[in-house]
Amino acid sequence: MFVAACIHDYDHPGLSNKFLIQTKDPLAILYNDRSVLENHHCAMSFNILLKENNNFLEHVDKEKFNEFREVIIGLVLATDLAEHFQILSLFKKKILNIPKCVQREDKILLMKILIKCADVSNATKEKSIYKRWVDGIMEEFYRQGDMEKKLNIPLSPFGNRDNANPNSCQKSFIEFIASPIFEAL
């Protein structure tokens, strides 16, 4: 899980999956419009990991390595917000049967929820730290909005720096994304 947390946003270009798909970015083409960024984070990270001086798993047998890779990829793909509500819904159903949740896929589902909590945990930070995260994400939204204007494509939510409302953005984020996942956990 630690590895997935470390790599889950590696080489992030500061643009959304939707934007990359709309603009037919080479990454969107490469990953067939499916969890474009998350697939990219995994691919770039494993390219680095598999280099001779970086491969801390070189002595792990092939089966264990493949299992490790499968879990890491699954955890990183779970950070795609397009999958958020599906994963949360499945977890809520499973949590009702905790004594029966001993299968491998149940443990992986729990790890997905944990990495998703970590991914949105900026909303739980002390105010000055949280504000830095908000400022950073809003600037990402604005830069993407500027690009969308230039390309004459519909603006993403919160991408219009002329009438943006960071408080409204964060209220929605906390209300619909962060709070429900922490409450489920």
Q: Report the C-alpha gap between 119 and 113 in whole angstroms.
A: 10
Buried (b) or exposed (e) across 92-128, using 16+ Cβ within 10 A?
eebeeeeeeeeeeebebbbbbbbbbeebbebeeeeee
Identify the weakest region by mean pLDDT among 15-19, 31-35, 95-99: 95-99
pLDDT surpasses 90 at 102:
no
Distances (CA, A) of 164 to 120, 131, 142: 21, 16, 9
Distances (CA, A) of 2 to 7, 114, 179: 9, 11, 23
pLDDT surpasses 90 at 97:
no
Q: Give residue 131's pLDDT.
A: 94
Identify the weakest region by mean pLDDT among 47-61, 100-114, 155-169: 100-114
Q: Report the C-alpha gap between 43 and 34 in whole angstroms.
A: 14
Residues 6+ apart with CB under 8 A from 160: 145
Q: Give residue 99's pLDDT.
A: 64
Q: Is 8 annotated as a binding residue?
A: yes
Grade residue 185 by pLDDT with cuts at 50, 70 and 90. confident
Computed over every residue of the chain, the mean pLDDT equals 93
CATH architecture of 1-119: Orthogonal Bundle (1.10)
Q: Give residue 146's pLDDT.
A: 96
Q: What pTM, to 2 d.p., does this model score?
A: 0.89
Q: Report the C-alpha gap between 95 and 114 in whole angstroms.
A: 14
| C-alpha distance across the termini of the chain, in Å | 17
Q: Over pLDDT 70: what percentage of the chain?
A: 97
pLDDT surpasses 90 at 104:
no
Helical spans, DSSP H, in 12-165: 17-22, 26-30, 36-49, 62-77, 84-95, 104-119, 127-151
Q: Give residue 94's pLDDT.
A: 83
Q: Give residue 101's pLDDT.
A: 60
Closest CA to 117 of 169, 38, 35, 177: 177
Grade residue 17 by pLDDT with cuts at 50, 70 and 90. very high
Q: Give residue 84's pLDDT.
A: 95
> So where are the chain's domains?
1-119, 120-185
